[in-house]
Structure 1
């Protein structure tokens, strides 16, 4: 049976409001036609990004995470501008401060699976990581004292949930998304593969859970701006050298398929974050791991550049 979304729309020809039924696919298309907002959490508050300027918005004292978790992200479209600042006048912070669930999807690009000598599974590989790993778009990436010799980058597109999702269909999935941002799924490979003497075997969760291992940002592009979330250019650079250069079109499981699959097992809540996988070119394939002093950049089309310096714990 076709599922419907009930909405009230204004009928200007008759000067009244009428109730209509839309399929979830139609509702998603309607959202696509609304106003796109590229927004950042800054030291001055929630700000809309217009070129190189930051328009600080009046959103009732909430931060961006607060808007997401309260279901009021739509206020961004009509919010009053209280100040316009230059990039040198603000510090950009993580758009998602303390997500409820941090969900990691592994091996979702064929070239990445091939470079590490494995195949993509028939269903998504999903891991949960402590949200305490989240850091900002300019924060340092620490090299942990106990696992600093094989720290690797993974440039990814992250999807932020904007409405609760439980057992939703693929067609419904995008209507539960608030927006997208860039992410670096930093991973301690020796912990992941079990070669670290301090772990009893391979441990994906711990390998990705160190403080500062999940930089997000620099902005959130609301769903209205995601004309095609499956065709965005994604690049990772280390000290200016391109290491990964791909498109989200190369994902094996689409955003909608991932949300639908995950929501069969757990309810996704507002502010939850899903990292959708990384393309080929990671350091483990060549043995080129991150070193203190290097700068890692993750570029996601439409969102901007996530730029983080690598530092030993003694440098933090």
Structure 2
């Protein structure tokens, strides 16, 4: 069931379906949806990615459509809300919130670590400050097949013993970006949305081959491990992506509640860094990392029947229920 939170700006974009019908791109304004298919002024889009491909051209048209009262509009509640975009590439950020990394590193300390908790926190915090000064974000790739809708059930695989939540701000690429500077990067971001980057926490590190390090395939990419949306909120409506509140509640109890100001690397630096290696394409997602307050910190992981409510300032809200897969 959809949940609602205030959106920044006069409209947003989403992907919807009428029951089991074909998905379609829709303009969301005032609690209603305008079907955008077959509109020549928008290039007759079939998907939201089609709109992102021509973002600078279609944005003024979307403003005009949002301001008009004509056209057949449907209440959001009558439609199924799907993931708002299907990206070709999914780039994810690790270790990008200072307090989150310090908390995780302390929780992952070996049992024979001679440092006190205070000493460990101070040393790890100093390491994070060096990373920020050296301008080295940590980016890895995910699979778009992990994406699911903002209100869909999340299936916890039978083999996953420590499923964890990670609510994140996601930047949505509009104009292709390749080797752009941080000063240029935000001009390539069309919109923002909400992502919950779930993690099988027990599988992050390859304990059988520690020299290889992390196993992102296994720990991040189960089907449905990236609930996305509900909507794409145009970047022009987000005054400052470094001043948004990221909040996740588990069964009504607040677990994450942090400002994006705690990010080591902001959106511009993340997009620029990723673009130095790969050509970012319209519809691609750059996830910016998770703030403090994950299950690893609380010593409590997701279980059958749990309900996660995630919000980010001005971007709406998602609600997902966890369902444990049978062995």
- Shorter chain as denominator, the TM-score bin is 0.7 to 0.9
Does 1:78 find its partner at 2:64? yes
Candidates 202, 227, 232, aligned match of 2:239: 227
Does 1:64 find its partner at 2:48? yes
- Quote how far apart the aligned CAs of 1:282 are: 0.3
Structure 1 range deviating more: 79-88 or 38-47? 79-88
Alignment of 1:2-41 (within 5 A): 37-41=11-15
- CA distance in 2 between counterparts of 1:160 and 1:88 reads 25
Does 1:106 find its partner at 2:94? yes
Judged with a 3 Å threshold, the aligned counterparts in structure 2 of structure 1 residues 152 and 195 are, in CA distance, closer, same or farther, namely: farther
Judged with a 3 Å threshold, the aligned counterparts in structure 2 of structure 1 residues 267 and 52 are, in CA distance, closer, same or farther, namely: same
- Quote how far apart the aligned CAs of 1:250 are: 1.7
Alignment of 1:142-181 (within 5 A): 142-147=155-160, 149-181=161-193
- CA distance in 2 between counterparts of 1:231 and 1:195 reads 38
- Quote how far apart the aligned CAs of 1:215 are: 0.8
Give the 3-state SS of the residue equivalent to 1:211 in structure 2: coil
Unaligned residue ranges in structure 1 (runs of 5+): 1-34
- CA distance in 1 between counterparts of 2:289 and 2:265 reads 9
Which residue of 2 is the match for residue 116 of structure 1?
104
- CA distance in 1 between counterparts of 2:252 and 2:74 reads 28
Judged with a 3 Å threshold, the aligned counterparts in structure 2 of structure 1 residues 196 and 158 are, in CA distance, closer, same or farther, namely: farther
Which residue of 2 is the match for residue 137 of structure 1?
150
Judged with a 3 Å threshold, the aligned counterparts in structure 2 of structure 1 residues 227 and 201 are, in CA distance, closer, same or farther, namely: closer
Which residue of 2 is the match for residue 286 of structure 1?
298
Contact 1:156 / 1:278 at 8 angstroms: preserved in 2?
yes
- CA distance in 2 between counterparts of 1:211 and 1:110 reads 29
Judged with a 3 Å threshold, the aligned counterparts in structure 2 of structure 1 residues 278 and 201 are, in CA distance, closer, same or farther, namely: closer
Higher strand share: 1
Contact 2:243 / 2:260 at 8 angstroms: preserved in 1?
yes
Unaligned residue ranges in structure 2 (runs of 5+): 1-8, 19-23, 106-123
- CA distance in 2 between counterparts of 1:61 and 1:219 reads 17
Structure 1 range deviating more: 136-145 or 55-64? 55-64
- Quote how far apart the aligned CAs of 1:128 are: 0.3
What's the CA shift string for 1:170-216, capped at 9, x where partnerless? 1111110110000000000111133699xx96412321111100111
TM-score norm. by structure 1 comes to 0.81
- CA distance in 1 between counterparts of 2:94 and 2:201 reads 14
Number of matched residues? 277
TM-score norm. by structure 2 comes to 0.79
Higher helix share: 2
CA RMSD in angstroms, aligned pairs only: 2.2
Candidates 5, 8, 16, aligned match of 1:42: 16
Give the 3-state SS of the residue equivalent to 1:267 in structure 2: coil
Contact 1:140 / 1:309 at 8 angstroms: preserved in 2?
yes
Contact 2:14 / 2:85 at 8 angstroms: preserved in 1?
no
- CA distance in 2 between counterparts of 1:167 and 1:257 reads 12
Judged with a 3 Å threshold, the aligned counterparts in structure 2 of structure 1 residues 154 and 73 are, in CA distance, closer, same or farther, namely: farther
Tell me which of the two structures has the higher relative contact order, counting C-alpha pairs closer than 8 angstroms and 6 or more residues apart.
Answer: 2
Which residue of 2 is the match for residue 52 of structure 1?
31
What's the CA shift string for 1:20-67, capped at 9, x where partnerless? xxxxxxxxxxxxxxx863122111533322233333335424221222
Contact 1:297 / 1:306 at 8 angstroms: preserved in 2?
yes
Which residue of 2 is the match for residue 16 of structure 1?
none
Give the 3-state SS of the residue equivalent to 1:269 in structure 2: coil
Judged with a 3 Å threshold, the aligned counterparts in structure 2 of structure 1 residues 93 and 154 are, in CA distance, closer, same or farther, namely: same
